Each structure stands twice: as C-alpha cells, then as structure tokens.
Chain A
Amino acid sequence: MATPVKVYGPPMSTAVSRVLACLYEKNVEFELISINMSKGEHKKPEFLKLQPFGQVPAFEDESISIFESRAICRYICDKYADKGNKGLYGTNPLAKASIDQWIEAEGQSFNPPSSTLVFQLAFAPRMNIKQDKVVIRQNEEKLSKVLDIYEKRLGEARFLAGDEFSLADLSHLPNTQYLVSGTDKGNLFTSRENVGRWWDEISSRDSWKKVVDLQKGA
C-alpha cells in the first residue's frame, strides 16, 4: 500500500487548502502536518529545506519534494492520473491549455485583490492588525472588475475552462470561501447571476466540503 503523501501547513491557509481540495478530488490519501506559523515554524531551517521561501504549503511523496500550491496540484493530477476525478486537469493538451489559462488568470488577476481582501477582512482582525480602509476599497474595485469578466465567461460556459469542473475552478475555492462565508463581501459573488451559480456549484462538491470541515476542526 502506498504511503500517504505529506502536506505541510495549516489548513486555514488558502494555498494549503487549494492542495487539500485537489487531494480530495483525486482520492489521494494524505497526511497533513501542521506548521505553526505564529511560532515561526515556517522560517526554521528544517522547513526551509522543503520550501526555501518559508511559505506554506510544502509537499512530499515517495519520489518528490515540491512547493507552490498550483504546481503541487498539477503534479498530483499528473502522477495520480488514474485516481479520483480523472478529468480534473484535462485529458488532452487542448483541454489542459484552457485549464492552464484560467489557473493563470486566477493567479494573476483574481488572487491579488481577493487575497488582499481575505487578509484585511478575515485575518487582520484575528491578528489584531488594523484594517486599511483604502486598501479594502481599492481591492474591492479591482475584484469587481475581474468578477465582471468572470460573469461574462460563466454565461458562455458552465465552468471556467469549459463544461467540466477543473483545477481552474478549484483554484478559486479557498479565497472565495473566506470572502463569502467570513466577510461582508460575499455579495460580490452572490449578486452576479452566473458567478453566484458557479460558486454554489463548485463549493458544494464533496471534496470542498471536506476541506471546510478540516478547517473548522483545526
């Protein structure tokens, strides 16, 4: 029997939860090794060997040690192609290309404003850091423009890359979960018909529900 793969990081980290969602979709058994960031565990030499930038997550299986959540997801889909959701990263180069395009869009256009809002609205209060109202407003505006584009796209296709749920949609789950459930900015998503429909569909997948449960239990 294969050894479970290892994921290092706290489940409440958006990047860590991106990887966990992928592992659940692919039915790949994993061991989650929590890293206590408030104690600086991510900056210690043993962790830096796994992730030289001192960020979470890090990932290991019996053949490889890698980092960067989206790269980890791609690897899991390639290595464990026959497990779980086989179409998660497409089954041919053309399908993969469309998925890669929207994963990039998530990383380049969606993630910057949404992760800033997640930090300001969900994490800063817990960490006793003062919120910056100007930053919140600016990033809400940026995110709105991005979501207008998504609204149009999701009027043309059921999911971002096409007819099937893919890594591209999955990549958006962590930040959106916080914004919809943990802040007052959920209406950015729910007030847009197609985006709202898409969010309902992707967030009610079993794999994502398991991640949310894991986050709640941590």
Chain B
Amino acid sequence: MAIRKLYGTLGSPDTIRALASIFEHELDFEFIPIDLNAGEHKTESFLSLSPFGLVPVYQDDGLTLFESRAIMRFITHYYLKPGTELVYEVPKLQGIAATWIDVEDHQFSPPAEKLRQELVDKAKKGLPMDKEVVAEAEAKLIKVLDVYEERLTHSKYLGGDRFTSADLTHLPYLYHLMGTPVKQLFEERPNVSTWCKDILSRPCWSRVVEMVEKDKV
C-alpha cells in the first residue's frame, strides 16, 4: 500500500500544483482520481478527508492535507533535498520567497482562474465567453505582471536567486493560459517571458504535463 496518496482531478490547477511539488521532490505516490462531474467530491467519504469538498487531498506519514499550497509547503519543508531545496532555510530569504507564494495566491491566481474558466473551460464545453469578465480579469493580470516584470529585474526567480515554490506555484495557470491569447501578456514582458520559459521547461514539469495530456485522450 502506498504511503503517499494524492486524490485529485487532472483538470484542476490545484491538483497539478500538488503534482508539480511531488515530482520535483521525486516522491513515490499513488494518484487517486476524483470524478468531480459525478459529484465524487461531495460524498461523505471524500468530505471526511477534505471538509470543503476541494481537490487535491494529500496523505503522507499519517497526515491528511487539503489545500494545494499547504501540501506544497509541507513537501518542500519535509523533503529537503540538499542543494536543490525549493525553500530557503534562512528566515530572511524564506520570508521573501513566502511573500511571493502569497502574491500568487491572492493577486495572480484570482484573475488567472477567471481567465482559465472563460477561455479554457468554456471553450471545452462549447460555451461563449463573457467578454466583460475577460477584460476585467486581463486588466488585473496586467497590473500583476507589471509588478512581476519589475521584480524579475532584480531577481532571477520570483522568490530569490534559485527556483523555489514561489515559482512552482505559478506553473498550473501558466500552463493553461499559454494556450490562450493571454499568452501575449507574458511574452511582451521580457523578464516575465524569460522566467516563464525557464520554469515551464523544467523536466519535472514536463512529467506533470505528460500525465495531464494523457488523461485528456
């Protein structure tokens, strides 16, 4: 029986955030798909793991965790890989990296999620997008990307001089939005563009993408 389990849905950005963290740390695990369309996330047994009915859920060493960024933080601190840690040990450096995790959480992802729903989800279902919602979300994303452009002038990665969770946490939405016209917003900002290309080309991320793409077939 696997000691590590991830319950999730490959179409969910939060699930693939957790997968990215698991792959980066080369952890063995079992993936248990949860069928949201069939309402599996609302069953008593799932709610006993994830009280808000949210995917993903991660189990490890007797711990059951929901919320992908909490899962990500746990993995980065529990499975430190000397030399390639996705976290800094020194409070001064980790304080900065942690700030940018929260920026992704509270500034970047809300408009990114709206755009994903309008431009990716609705397209899949053959539904028309709401142009006003898209315009508003794009305007918010532009403000965030301008801040990122400035930040990346002083720092190779968002969290500091090396790739950390502060960058990893952005991968799911970058993956989705790069397949839409919104990609232009990233490409027209040189530092943001370089950073995107760098983190999206990480081998561990390619393994996540492979897993997601296989599932679509």
Contact = CB atoms under 8 A, between A and B. Distances in A.
Given A68-B106, A100-B67, A101-B65, A75 B95 contact: yes
A72 to B, nearest CB: 8
Contact of A100 (B52, B74, B106, B150): B74
Contacts of A79: 91-92, 95
B92 A63 contact: yes
Contact of B74 (A53, A67, A68, A96): A96
Contact of B102 (A71, A93, A146, A149): A71
A53 B99 CA distance: 12
B99 A68 contact: yes
Contacts of B94: 75, 78
A78 B91 contact: yes
A54 to B, nearest CB: 9
B6 to A, nearest CB: 14
Interface of B is mostly: helix
Contact of A64 (B70, B78, B95, B105): B95
Given A68-B103, A109-B52, A97 B91 contact: no
Given A66-B99, A107-B106, A152-B51, A98 B91 contact: no
Interface in A140-157: 146, 149, 152-153
Interface string B104-146: 0111000000000000000000000000000000000001100
A1 interface: no
A103 B98 CA distance: 13
A108 interface: yes
A78 B151 CA distance: 24
B38 interface: no
Contacts of B197: none
Contacts of B161: none
Interface in B32-91: 51-52, 61-63, 65-67, 69-70, 73-74, 77-78, 91
A70 B147 contact: no
A153 B102 contact: no
Nearest to A101: B70
A94 interface: yes
A96 B70 CA distance: 9
Interface residues of B, number: 32
B147 A53 contact: yes
Contacts of A146: 52
Contact of A107 (B78, B95, B105, B151): B105
A96 B63 CA distance: 11
B45 to A, nearest CB: 15
A105 interface: yes
A45 interface: no
B178 interface: no
A104 interface: yes
Contacts of A4: none
B96 A64 contact: yes
Nearest to A79: B91
A125 interface: no
5 contacts: A68-B102, A94-B62, A94-B63, A96-B74, A105-B67
Interface of B: 51-52, 61-63, 65-67, 69-70, 73-74, 77-78, 91-92, 94-96, 98-99, 101-103, 105-107, 143-144, 147, 150-151
8 nearest interchain CB pairs?
Answer: A75-B95, A104-B67, A68-B102, A100-B70, A97-B74, A79-B91, A101-B70, A78-B91
